[in-house]
Every structure is written in structure tokens, then in C-alpha cells.
Structure 1
Amino acid sequence: MKNTSTRLLLSCAAIGVAGGLLFIVNSYVGGTVNAVVPMLYGLTLGVYFVPGVIAQALFRRGGVALLVAVLSGLVSAAFQPLGFGAALIAAAIGAVQEIPFLIARYRVWRTWLFLVGAAVSGVILAFGMYRLVGSHDLDVMGAVILLAGSFVSPIVFTLLGLALARALAAAGVGRGLARR
């Protein structure tokens, strides 16, 4: 992150804190869903993609998704059952969000590139959730619902994050920070 201004860092910190608050709420909602209806747990996982997508779409700079995800994870770590593990999971998600843009050398910022990262993450999450929840507790139909929800959730929440970033950009948030 060459030529990183204080303004950019503070903007990332603000998105990270808001994302951390979102993570805290989602950890309890997701935990409740996992306890009551485990097959729908995958639908809650996409929330963790929102802060990174907003930062990437607003600022169009390398490393901002990882930075915002780590900050969100650290903010939420003290209030989640996973503790510091939440920060590690958020960092992993931020790193996966950076990969498609890193491959494109941070020169392409099209919607499809966001969706490619979300789809790859969805595949990873689907396999992880099947091993964590599905193979032990669910029948075949429940496992299919869990896998589909885990795959679709990052894509849906990435689109939501892109819509939020467009709204924030229209309101003037991040003006002068985005690369052309």
C-alpha cells in the first residue's frame, strides 16, 4: 500500500469498525441459526464479505479489503464466542477477496471480478460448512441446502456490498481516495 494517506487509513478504520459491529451481531444471529436450523447457517456467512467489498469498491486500492477485514475481526473479537479466531477468519476472507484483484495487478475493478472472488470463496465455504456442520448433523436434503446457502451467500452479500459502496460514493464518501 504505497502512498497511503492518513485519510485512507481512517476511512478504512471507520469501515472496519462498522464491519466489526456487523460481525458481532452476525455471530450471535449465526450461532442461533446454527443451533436451531443448522441447514440455514450457510446463509449467514456472507456478511463477513461486506466490509472488504465496500472498501475495495470505494477506494480501488490494493490491500484495503485485507486491512478492513482484519480491523473488523479485531473489533469483534472481544465480543464473539470465537474470540481472536474471529480476527483470523476475517483476515482469511480479506485475503481471498484480494486475490482476484492481485492477479489483475489492481488495474481492473469490474463487478465480475468481485463476483469471481465471492464464488471461489463460496466454494471454499461450502466444503468447510459441510465438513463442520453438514456431514454430522444433517440428512441429504439438509446438506444440499447448507451447501447451496454457503455458496450463494458470499455472492449475494458481495452484491449488497457493491450497492452500499455505490451509495456511499454517490454521497461523497471516499471522494479523492479512489484510484482512477
Structure 2
Amino acid sequence: MRNTSTRLLLSCAAIGVVGGIVFIVNSYLGGTLNAVAPMLYGLTLGVYFVPGALAQRLFRRGGVALLVAVLSGLVAAAFNPLGFLAALISVGIGALQELPFLVTRYRRWPVWLFVAGAVLSGVVLAAGMYRLVGARDLDPAGALVLVAGSLLSPVVFTLLALALARPLAATGVTRGLAPRR
């Protein structure tokens, strides 16, 4: 991250801390949902994509999704039942979010690139959930709901983050932080 100002770091930290608090709440709600209706667990996983996508959209700089994911994961790790593993998972999600923009060398920030990254992440997530939750133990409809939810959840929550970024940017909080278009 070249030309990184203290203001950018503090803005990423604020997004990361709020994201970490949301992750803590989601880990308990998602864990409860996994125990009650494991096929619906994939629908909750997209929450982990909001802070990184929000930072990328607001600041349009390389590395901000990874930075925000690390901070969110560290905040969540203290209160998450998974402990430090939650931070590692968050770092993996941040790295997946950075990948499409890294390919373009952080020169382009169109919405379709955010969606492409979310779809890629959804595929990785669906494969992991299929194995982790044990979709093969579910009936075919339940396995389909689990995989479809894991695929679509990152896309839906990434689009939600992009929608949240628009009014935040309109307030002027990112003035001087994002490169000129």
C-alpha cells in the first residue's frame, strides 16, 4: 500500500473493528443456525465479505480489503468460539477479495469485478461448506440449499457493501483518501 496515510489506516481500522463486532454476533447466530438447520448456514457466511468490499469500494486502493479483514479477524478472534482460526479465515477471505483487483493491478474498480471476486469466493466457500458441514449427510434438497446459499451469500453481501459505500462516500468521509477517478 503506497502512499498510506494515517487517516486511511484509521478509516480501515474503524471499518475493521465494526466488521469484527458484526463477525462476533454472526458467529453465534450462525453457530446456532448450523446446529438447528445446517442447510441454511451458508446464507450467513456472506457477512464476512462486507468490511473488505466496503473498504475497497470506498478507498479504491490495493490491500485495504486484506487490512480490514485482518483487523476484523483479530477483533473477532477474542470472542469467537473458533479463536485464532477465525482470524485466519478472515485473512483468507480478504485475500480472495483482493485477487481480482490484483489481476488488474489495482487500476480498475468496476462493479462486475467485485461480483467476479464474490463468485470466486463463493465457489471456494461452497466447496468448504460442503465438506465442513457435511452436505453429503443432508438430503439432496438440503445439500442444494447449503451449496447454493454458500455460493450466493458472498455475492449478495458484496452488493450490499457496494450499496452501503455509495451513501458513505456521499457524506465526504473518503474525500482525499480515494484516488481521483
Q: Does 1:137 align with 2:137?
A: yes
Q: Which moved more, 1:18-27 or 1:167-176?
A: 167-176
Distance in 1 separating the partners of 2:115 and 2:30 = 23
Distance in 2 separating the partners of 1:106 and 1:93 = 18
RMSD of aligned Cα (Å): 0.8
- How far apart are residue 2 of structure 1 and its match? 1.0
What amino acid is aligned across from residue 124 of structure 2 in structure 1? I
Q: How does 1:41-80 map to 2 (within 5 A)?
A: 41-80=41-80
Please, which runs of 5 or more residues in structure 2 have no aligned partner?
Answer: none
Q: How does 1:1-180 map to 2 (within 5 A)?
A: 1-180=1-180
Distance in 2 separating the partners of 1:159 and 1:142 = 25
- How far apart are residue 136 of structure 1 and its match? 4.8
- How far apart are residue 173 of structure 1 and its match? 1.6
Aligned residue pairs: how many? 180
Distance in 1 separating the partners of 2:27 and 2:174 = 28
For residues 45-90 of structure 1, what are the alpha-carbon distances to aligned partners after superposition, in whole Å with 9 as ceiling and x for unaligned? 0000000000000000000000000000000101000001111000
Contact 2:135/2:146, CA 8 A, preserved across alignment: no
Distance in 1 separating the partners of 2:89 and 2:44 = 14
Contact 2:59/2:178, CA 8 A, preserved across alignment: yes
What amino acid is aligned across from residue 46 of structure 1 in structure 2? G
Distance in 1 separating the partners of 2:167 and 2:86 = 28
- How far apart are residue 163 of structure 1 and its match? 0.6
SS of 1:88 mapped into structure 2? helix
Residue identity over aligned pairs, in percent, reads 76
Contact 1:39/1:145, CA 8 A, preserved across alignment: yes
Contact 1:77/1:87, CA 8 A, preserved across alignment: yes
SS of 1:56 mapped into structure 2? helix
- The two structures have a TM-score, normalised by structure 2, of 0.98
Moved >2 Å (runs of 4+): 134-137
Distance in 2 separating the partners of 1:77 and 1:128 = 20
Contact 1:134/1:146, CA 8 A, preserved across alignment: no
- How far apart are residue 135 of structure 1 and its match? 3.2
Contact 2:135/2:142, CA 8 A, preserved across alignment: no
